[in-house]
Amino acid sequence: MITVFDYFTLTMVAIVAVATITSSNLFVASMWSGIYSLLMACNFFILDAADVALTEAAVGAGVSTVLYMGALSLTDDKEQVSRGRKILPLLAVVALGLILMIVTIEHPRVGDINAPIHQHVAPWYIEKTPEYINIPNLVTAILASFRGFDTMGEVLVIFTAGIGVISVLSFKPKRAASVSGSELGKQIRGLHHHAVLRVVGKLLIPIILLFGLLVQFHGKYSPGGGFSAGALFAAAIMLYGILEGADRSAHAMPQAVMLKLAALGCTIYTGVGFVCMLLGHHFLDYNALWPSNPKLGQYYGILMVEFGVGLTVTAVLIMIFNAIANRATY
Amino acid sequence: MNLLGLYNYWVYLFLLLVGMYTVFAKNNYVKRLIGLSIFQSAVFLLFISMDKVAGGTGPIFTGNPVTDAVFANPLPQVLILTAIVVGIAGTALGLAITVRIREEYGSIEESDIRKMDDQS
């Protein structure tokens, strides 16, 4: 039964992907790509990856669609359809596809427990997590503790990307703006004239924030963690910006504060690592935090690290949204 | 030969090629970014398809010995969980650069921009 759902959503994903790239109106294409992400999230859930599904639904269907819309309002919404056929790219892609298709015949089938990936280090993680870390969600345990180095790198990459967006958009063209950013915000004032959307949307914001808090702090026992929670918080603020105008969301969440919060998140993460070092253990070895009861040390270490992750992701995504949505049109 | 067990990989391949074709052949920068994110999520699908174990559950201990018997592989999930958020940060950077290109050139079509560069 599960596999039937799997095949169904996968087929839908493939169809929607084609629809995404063939629609010449870019607004339509970005809506299609939101639907694509939602279907992809359903499929991840069917494949037993609940944490990934939660993140993909919040990031792919929520945040990325909003960012595409914001960017499109500053550029052109129509794609110029070129006349000539592109034979060479098609040939290259089809040739690569055929080669990879032949390779897949040798792949282990989906769900095969004897596949090499399930024989290597994964059994060790599953067996040792209760002994060393003792939190129910294996994904969080590996993310924050066993492979804490990787996650620290990812958080720093997100921080860097946020700084990149801010610095790219800090340049202003020499000619005067046709509409300034704050004026644009006042002009359209979100969805001011759509009473139903505004009322229902406003009701959703606290629920999304509450769910974000659950995902953030309950991520050790159920699917979730800093990454998905950060995306959820940012989605709630973006919803506020869409409903009430982006100038108000930038006023409520000023860019300078967001930048400091993003840096603070990274500092908390690396700071926990350094505290472990000062206590005489290795970097990010949370056992140091509670020497008499290492499992409790792991618990608090993961809690703080996930908090840092959530803070950075939230702040960076809000910063990016505010920077794009409050940009003046030139 | 159980070819139906390869369906996930074939969809992954199809998405990969759709994304790659968009990046190669399309002229519009926003369209290319969309293609890039399709390409990216094809890779996510590959990893998550590999983690599935038949008859297993999501990798969370419930205290129930029946459901705690077989788990999906948590390792690819960790990798993809972080990759999704890093992916959106990269896409946002690409969109910001596209906005700047539009402001300087007045267009986001690569052929127009090349023409302008050749003239100057």
Nearest Cα of chain A lies from the Cα of B33 at a distance, in angstroms, of 10
Encoded tokens for A271: 């700071």
Q: Is the pLDDT of residue A296 over 60?
A: yes
Residues 225-254 of A with CB under 8 A from B: 225, 227-228, 230-231
Enumerate residue ranges in chain B where pLDDT < 70: 1
Considering A38-52, A164-178, B56-70, the range whose residues carry the highest mean pLDDT is: A38-52
A133 and B CB contact within 8 Å: no
Residues A158-181, mean pLDDT to the nearest whole number:
84
Q: How many CB pairs under 8 A join A and B?
A: 293
The verdict on a CB contact (< 8 Å) between A101 and B98 is no
Give the model's pLDDT for residue A83. 64
Nearest to B35 among A21, A48, A137 (CB): A21
Mean pLDDT of chain A: 89
Residues A100-106, mean pLDDT to the nearest whole number:
89
Question: Domain ranges in chain A?
Answer: 1-113, 120-330
Give the model's pLDDT for residue A244. 85
Mean pLDDT of chain B: 89
Specify the CATH number of the domain A1-113. 1.20.120.1200
A15 and B CB contact within 8 Å: no
Residues A32-60, mean pLDDT to the nearest whole number:
93
Bigger pLDDT: A1 vs A305? A305
Evaluate if pTM is beyond 0.90.
yes
Local confidence band at A96 (pLDDT 50, 70, 90 cut-offs):
very high
Give the model's pLDDT for residue A77. 81
- ipTM for the predicted complex comes to 0.94
Nearest to B77 among A43, A49, A313 (CB): A49
Residues A192-218, mean pLDDT to the nearest whole number:
90
The verdict on a CB contact (< 8 Å) between A138 and B81 is no
Give the model's pLDDT for residue A234. 95
Give the model's pLDDT for residue A121. 87
Of the residues A2, A32, A121, A126, the best mutation for testing chain B's interface (the one with the most B CB atoms within 10 Å of its CB) is A126
Percent of chain A whose pLDDT exceeds 70: 93
Quote the CA–CA distance of A9 and A315 in Å, as a whole number.
33
Residues A142-146, mean pLDDT to the nearest whole number:
90
Three state DSSP letters for chain A = CHHHHHHHHHHHHHHHHHHHHHCCEHHHHHHHHHHHHHHHHHHHHHCCCHHHHHHHHHHHHHHHHHHHHHHHHHCCCECCCCCCCCHHHHHHHHHHHHHHHHHHCCCCCCECCCCHHHCCCHHHHHHHHHHHCCCCEHHHHHHHHHCHHHHHHHHHHHHHHHHHHHHHHHCCCCCCCCECHHHHHHHHCCCCCCHHHHHHHHHHHHHHHHHHHHHHHCCCCCCCCHHHHHHHHHHHHHHHHHHHCHHHHHHHCCHHHHHHHHHHHHHHHHHHHHHHHHCCCCCCCHHHHCCCCHHHHHHHHHHHHHHHHHHHHHHHHHHHHHHHHCCCEC
pLDDT tens digits, A208-253: 999 999 999 988 888 888 999 999 999 999 999 888 888 888 899 9
Q: Is the pLDDT of residue A266 over 80?
A: yes
Least confident of A73-82, A195-204, A214-223, A230-239: A73-82
Give the model's pLDDT for residue A131. 87
Percent of chain A whose pLDDT exceeds 90: 54
The verdict on a CB contact (< 8 Å) between A82 and B27 is yes
Q: Is the pLDDT of residue A45 over 70?
A: yes
